C-alpha cells in the first residue's frame, strides 16, 4: 500500500474556492503580494531570488516526488518531475498577462494531462523586468505541482513600468542558468521547458556587479546573453514567445535579436496573447511528440473537455503559430534518455535514487551523485568574454 494522500497535484475545486474568496473580498490578484510587501518591505520569499537576510541568491529546484509504501520504500506515483517555467515580461502593458496567467492556471495544468502518463509537471512562474522598476528585475516562484503554482503566482509583482524599451531579460536568464537545478537533467539527461513571453530585446550582457546586486550571485567576468542562452539550452527547451508582433513581420529587430541568441526556431510569434497558456502547452506537446499533428495538438489543448477557453479555430491558430518552432518538433524524444526514464508506479530503495529497483541502471544508485553517469551533462557556469559591446543608444 502506498500513502498517496501526500501526492501533490492541482486541485481544481480548491482553486475555484480561492477565486470565490477573492471575489467575495473584492480582492485582485496582487492584493496578497502587496500586503506582504507592506509588512516586510520586500517581496515574499516564495518569489524573491535573493535571501534578504544574507544577500545571497536562493535556488529553485525541481525534484522527483516520491511517497513511502508500507515497506518503507519510495514510490514514484506521478512520474519524474518535468519543470516548466512561465516567464512573463512585467513591464508596461505586458504586466497584465501575469494576472491573466493566474486565472488560466487551472486550464494550463489540465492541458498537460496528455504527458502525465510519464511526467509530474511542476510549474514555476517568473517575471522579467527592468532595473529601473520599483520591484526586483527578476522574480521567480518555486516549481510546484499542486495549488502552490497558483498561490505563488499571486506573490509576483509586475511593475508595468520599465525605464526604456530595452528590458533586463538577461538578468533572469542568468538566474535560470545558475539558480535552478532539475532532476530531469542531472539524473536522466532530459530537459525542462522555459518560456519568455515578452515584446522587447535585452541588454546583451550581464556584468558581475549586476549579478551580485540583483541575484546575489558571483560571476568572474561579463557574460553575454548569447552565451547564457546557449548554456541554458543544455538544461531546458527555451523559447521566446513574441507578443505585439504581426505574422508578416517575422524578421523585425526584436525577432532577429532573439534568434541570434537562441538560435533558429526558438522565436514564436503570438498574435493573440490571450492564448499564451495554449501556446506554452502546445510547445510541450510538439516537443514531446515524435510526429506531432494538428489533430493531436487539438486533442491535447482541449484536455478531454477540461479546457473551455478555446475553440477549434483557436487550436488551428496555435498550430499555425507553432510552425515557427517546427525545427524543434520532437526534440525531447530525440534525447538519449527519453525511453529509459522511470515511470509512475516504479519503486525505489531510497528517496533520492535516480533509478528504481529492477531498472537496468539501478546499480548506478550506489555511486556518489557526482560520479553517476548522465547522458547529457548539466551546463557549466563558466562565463565567456563578450564578443563586443552593444550600442544601446541606437534603440
pLDDT tens digits for range 35-52: 999 999 999 999 999 999
Q: What is the CATH number of domain 64-343?
A: 3.40.50.410
The residue-averaged pLDDT of 188-196 equals 97
The pLDDT, as a whole number, for residue 7 is 58
CA atoms of 36 and 40, how far apart (whole Å) = 6
The pLDDT, as a whole number, for residue 165 is 73
CA atoms of 90 and 200, how far apart (whole Å) = 12
Residue 158: count of CB within 10 angstroms of its CB: 25
DSSP string, 183-199: HHHHTTS--EEEEEEES
The pLDDT, as a whole number, for residue 244 is 79
pLDDT band at residue 379 using 50, 70 and 90 as cut-offs:
very low
3-class state of residue 174 by DSSP:
helix
Instruction: For the chain, give the percent of residues with pLDDT over 90.
Output: 81
pLDDT band at residue 275 using 50, 70 and 90 as cut-offs:
very high
pLDDT higher at 244 or 72:
72
User: Structural domain boundaries of the chain?
Assistant: 64-343
Side-chain half-sphere exposure of 81, counting CA atoms within 13 A? 27
What average pLDDT does the structure give for the chain? 90
pLDDT tens-digit series, residues 278-287 = 999 999 999 9
pLDDT band at residue 251 using 50, 70 and 90 as cut-offs:
low
**Model pTM?**
0.91
The pLDDT, as a whole number, for residue 57 is 96
pLDDT tens-digit series, residues 320-357 = 999 999 999 999 999 998 999 999 999 999 999 999 99
Amino acid at each position: 500500500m502506498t500513502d498517496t494522500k501526500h501526492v501533490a497535484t492541482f486541485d481544481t475545486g480548491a482553486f475555484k474556492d480561492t477565486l470565490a474568496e477573492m471575489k467575495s473580498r473584492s480582492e485582485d490578484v496582487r492584493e496578497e503580494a502587496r500586503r506582504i510587501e507592506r509588512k516586510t518591505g520586500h517581496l515574499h520569499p516564495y518569489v524573491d531570488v535573493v535571501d534578504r537576510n544574507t544577500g545571497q541568491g536562493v535556488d529553485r529546484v525541481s525534484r522527483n516526488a516520491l511517497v513511502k509504501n508500507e515497506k518503507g520504500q519510495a514510490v514514484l506515483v506521478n512520474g519524474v518531475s518535468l519543470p516548466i517555467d512561465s516567464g512573463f515580461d512585467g513591464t508596461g502593458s505586458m504586466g497584465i498577462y501575469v494576472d491573466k496567467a493566474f486565472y488560466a492556471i487551472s486550464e494550463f495544468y489540465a492541458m498537460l494531462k496528455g504527458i502525465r502518463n510519464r511526467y509530474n509537471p511542476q510549474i514555476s512562474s517568473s517575471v522579467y523586468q527592468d532595473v529601473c522598476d520599483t520591484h526586483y528585475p527578476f522574480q521567480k516562484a518555486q516549481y510546484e505541482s499542486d495549488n502552490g503554482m497558483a498561490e505563488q503566482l499571486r506573490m509576483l509583482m509586475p511593475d508595468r513600468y520599465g525605464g526604456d524599451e530595452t528590458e533586463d531579460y538577461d538578468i533572469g536568464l542568468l538566474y535560470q542558468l545558475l539558480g535552478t537545478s532539475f532532476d530531469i537533467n542531472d539524473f536522466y539527461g532530459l530537459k525542462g521547458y522555459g518560456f519568455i513571453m515578452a515584446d522587447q530585446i535585452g541588454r546583451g550582457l550581464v556584468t558581475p556587479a549586476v549579478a551580485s546586486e540583483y541575484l546575489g550571485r558571483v560571476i568572474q567576468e561579463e557574460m553575454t546573453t548569447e552565451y547564457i542562452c546557449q548554456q541554458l539550452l543544455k538544461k531546458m527547451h527555451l523559447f521566446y514567445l513574441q507578443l505585439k508582433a504581426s505574422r508578416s513581420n517575422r524578421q523585425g529587430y526584436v525577432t532577429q535579436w532573439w534568434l541570434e541568441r537562441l538560435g533558429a526556431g526558438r522565436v514564436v510569434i503570438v498574435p493573440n496573447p490571450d492564448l499564451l497558456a495554449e501556446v506554452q502547452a502546445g510547445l510541450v506537446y510538439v516537443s514531446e511528440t515524435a510526429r506531432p499533428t494538428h489533430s493531436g495538438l487539438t486533442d491535447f489543448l482541449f484536455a478531454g473537455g477540461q479546457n473551455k477557453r478555446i475553440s477549434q479555430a483557436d487550436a488551428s491558430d496555435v498550430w499555425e503559430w507553432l510552425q515557427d518552432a517546427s525545427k524543434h518538433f520532437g526534440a525531447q524524444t530525440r534525447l538519449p534518455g527519453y525511453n529509459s526514464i522511470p515511470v509512475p508506479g516504479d519503486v525505489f530503495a531510497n528517496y533520492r535514487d535516480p533509478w528504481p529497483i529492477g531498472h537496468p541502471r539501478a546499480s548506478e544508485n550506489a555511486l556518489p551523485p557526482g560520479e553517476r553517469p548522465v547522458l547529457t551533462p548539466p551546463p557549466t557556469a563558466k562565463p565567456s568574454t563578450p564578443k563586443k559591446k552593444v550600442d544601446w543608444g541606437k534603440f
